[in-house]
Amino acid sequence: MVTRVRPALLVVDVQNDFCPGGALAVTNGDKVIEPLNELIRLFDKDHRLIIFSRDWHPRETKHFAEFGGKWPAHCIQHTLGAGLHPQLVTPAKAYIISKGYGKTDDGYSPFEGVYFRYSDWPLSLQVLLRNVTELYIGGLATDYCIKAACLDARKLGYNVYLLTDACRAVNLKPGDEALALSDMANAGVKFITTDEVLREFESS
């Protein structure tokens, strides 16, 4: 029996606070938006699964420096900074995974987050991906949430493709991005560009 390939697109944390002018801006963070939008439109047109993740921190959390963590306050629930970037295409049928919403969790990986539904229990990312075999991942930032997403996805058995032109790194320490890419490659993550995905999908 041949297993049918079921791809999904995971767009990680392309939020206002991680883009230029935000509270924890990643250098050139907004440059991921254009290539991601190309894939979002393609996946939407082909009725493929699209999932956005977002940091969704409470005002007081050990994730923030003022409460013992390492980061300035960012992506606080229901603030403009926590919103997805306005230039990002967000189809109505896409899902949004919220992570880091507790007072004690960092929430780097989208697999630690949930999709909140108004009338039911929240759903995990793994549940949303129950029919998926291939996961394409891009967004912010390469050396933190992207890395965590890719490594967790590999542990769970997904074929993972990192969109190298659609992610950017924090590089809190020099070499963090290179180390993250090495860790992902060693875990079996495949590197690909959005143009390569577009050509592959449009020819299939």
The set of catalytic residues is 13, 99, 145
Token pair belonging to 192: 């690909």
- DSSP code for 146: I
- DSSP code for 39: H
Q: Is 100:63 a contact under the CB 8 Å cutoff? A: yes
Backbone angles phi, psi at 10, to 5 degrees: -115, 115
CA pair distance 2, 160, nearest whole angstrom: 19
Coil, helix or strand at residue 74: coil
Which contiguous run of DSSP H or E holds residue 194?
Answer: helix 194-203
CA 80 to chain centre: 18
Neighbours of 126 (CB within 10 A): 14
